[in-house]
Amino acid sequence: MPGKQSVQAPPAPASQAELKARLKSATSNFTPATQSPAPSGSKAPSGQDPKIIGGTPAAVGEAPWMVQLFYNDPVTNQGIFCGGTLVAPGKVLTAAHCVAGRDWTKNGVILGGTTEYPLNGDLHGGQLVNVARQWSNPAFDAGALTGDVAVLTLAAPLPYQTLQPAAADESVAYQPGTPATVYGWGRISSTNQDVSMSLLKATIPVQADATCAAYYNQAPENSFVAGQMTCAGNPASGADAGTVSPCNGDSGGPLVVGNRIVGVVSWGREDCVAAGSYSVYSKLSTFAGLVGPRADDTDLNFDGRADLFARNDATGEGFAYYSQGITIGNRYSLGDWRGYDLVRQADLDRDQRQDFVLRTTGGHLDWYHYAAATNAYAHQDLGGGWGAMKSVALPGDLNGDALTDLLAVDTSGQLWLYPGKGDGAFGNRSALGGGWGPLVLVGKGDYSGDGKADLLAQDTSGKLWLYPGTGRGAFGNRTLAGSAGWTFPGYAATGDVDGDGRADLFARDGAGVLWLYPGNGRGAFGDRYQIGGGWGGYSLIG
């Protein structure tokens, strides 16, 4: 039985005393007019200001995924306040202008589980947590406010419901006139700097790109970038009366249609009520391929880069090899791993600790995972009969519920989908078709760049095929990911190894050389990197 899951301990969460001190500093020092500015300090281009005027209170439990982001700049002693959305228990989607250029790991704190603003340090039953890692879109332009999306990784998962971003192929939600709801704690008037003490919401119509451009792209401004941005709301009246709009402090919060995040509050006119103006949001369908991988990047040593497991055939000893980008570091012993003939990495319960799904030589499936109740790793038997499966893969979320699913091919060549339940178990399987018997299933993550988990399959002629996930429990038409030479005796698909947000693939050739194939985000791979030789004695990799 495995001795341990990983030798690397997760980053220690900050103490509650430290988190409360950060919260106190941030809430004491910010000026609401600039609490969610672009990184330059206040205004976006041409007098625009990141930004619920005219909102109504959101009921308790209506938006459990809403969180509050507080940051205190240690140099200027200025506090910053933004909104965010839990897209996974340990992941917050927000705006890049709230994150870029700031060290949220040292100076930020997240508050979840409450609709109330923490006045005088009262958390109203909410929970504080610090940030362990941060990612802001590297293409974010602080001047133009294009690419305005970011993802924060929390030091510990929060026990609240999550909300998922719109898919890359989403179009219906952006049709003009579609009702959308925006949430936030931002300014409630253009005439003063007071933020809301309770979570507010407003239902506003999505506007056509042409409508937004007609207002914002009058020369010489040209600040609305279709595709990168979407706008919503009726034209502002010029005053609080007759205006419904997000404002300062709402930055980073979600615009929601049909229980999907279609936009992230980005910018608007300064003071938020300029006659004829609209609120502008980062268009999430455009950024699905960037956000998706960052929301599901659990690994063995908690740095966001996928790692490798390998077992020595002669001794049965298992090893973790931590990613160093396009190579791997020194190995670390994980103890005795004899008795298994298949290993896959996947975070089945979304607790931000990597799990192993193992198949015993007796045909049982075993979930090896962290058990919070005992603060130790534990085994859970998922049932027998899996020895008859010719191929098993855990590509990620295939049906759009943000939980990892399992694929298996039986002896007749039928492909089965086992939907993950979020607790290590799987629901009732569904058939996805026959003819899969000759194929070897591999893949973990998004290879096509649309934010959806895909499947790779090697055929008997040495071709590697990409089956693009639809997010609806099925696959689109396959395309070639590799035209020849894919006859490797061993594969390990662990996710994004080099940290660029694209899923990669390890392959071991017949001479015992291990290769890394970096995904290009377009359904194929870049030039491979040689990891090294001597891997012939490691038949179990994953």
Give, for all 542 residues of the chain, the pLDDT tens digit.
565 555 567 778 889 999 999 999 999 876 442 333 332 222 333 444 444 888 999 998 999 999 999 999 999 998 999 999 999 999 999 999 999 999 999 999 999 999 999 999 999 999 999 999 999 999 999 999 999 999 999 999 999 999 999 999 999 999 999 999 999 998 888 877 788 999 999 999 999 999 999 999 986 677 999 999 999 999 988 888 888 888 888 999 999 999 999 999 999 888 888 888 999 999 999 999 999 999 999 999 999 999 999 999 999 999 999 999 999 999 999 999 999 999 999 999 999 999 999 999 999 999 999 998 898 899 999 999 999 999 999 999 999 999 999 999 999 999 999 999 999 999 999 999 999 999 999 999 999 999 999 999 999 999 999 999 999 999 999 999 999 999 999 999 999 999 999 999 999 999 999 999 999 999 999 999 999 999 999 989 99
Q: Give the right CATH number for 296-541 from 2.160.20.70, 2.115.10.10, 3.30.70.1520, 3.40.50.150.
A: 2.115.10.10
Which secondary-structure segment (H or E) carries 377?
strand 376-381
Cβ contact 313:538 at 8 Å: yes
C-alpha span between 508 and 272 (Å, rounded): 57
Which secondary-structure segment (H or E) carries 129?
strand 127-129
Task: Using the CB atoms, write b or e for 128-138: b if 16+ within 10 Å.
Answer: bbbbbbbbbbe
Please list the residue range(s) of the chain that carry CATH number 2.40.10.10.
Answer: 16-294
Topology of domain 16-294 in CATH is Thrombin, subunit H (2.40.10)
Cβ contact 458:464 at 8 Å: yes
Considering only CA atoms, which of 393, 395, 364 is closest in space to residue 381? 364
pLDDT value at residue 46: 40
CA distances from 441 to 53, 437, 457, 464, 541 (A): 52, 10, 5, 10, 14
97 flagged as catalytic: yes
Query: 493 is written with which tokens?
Result: 């698909």
Please list the residue range(s) of the chain that carry CATH number 2.115.10.10.
Answer: 296-541
pLDDT value at residue 8: 65
How many residues appear in the chain?
542
pLDDT value at residue 516: 99
**Angle, alpha carbons 295-298-300 (nearest 5°):** 165
73 flagged as catalytic: no
Query: Which entry of 6, 25, 36, 97 is annotated as an active-site residue?
Result: 97
514-520 long-range contacts (CB < 8 A, ≥24 apart) are 516/326, 516/327, 518/326, 519/445, 519/447
Query: Which entry of 136, 251, 277, 448 is annotated as an active-site residue?
Result: 251
C-alpha span between 186 and 247 (Å, rounded): 6
pLDDT value at residue 193: 75
pTM over 0.85: yes
C-alpha span between 73 and 95 (Å, rounded): 17
Cβ contact 256:305 at 8 Å: no
Query: Which entry of 49, 148, 296, 299 is annotated as an active-site residue?
Result: 148
Give the per-residue SS3 of 194-214.
CECCECEEEEEEECCHHHHHH
369 flagged as catalytic: no
pLDDT value at residue 188: 84
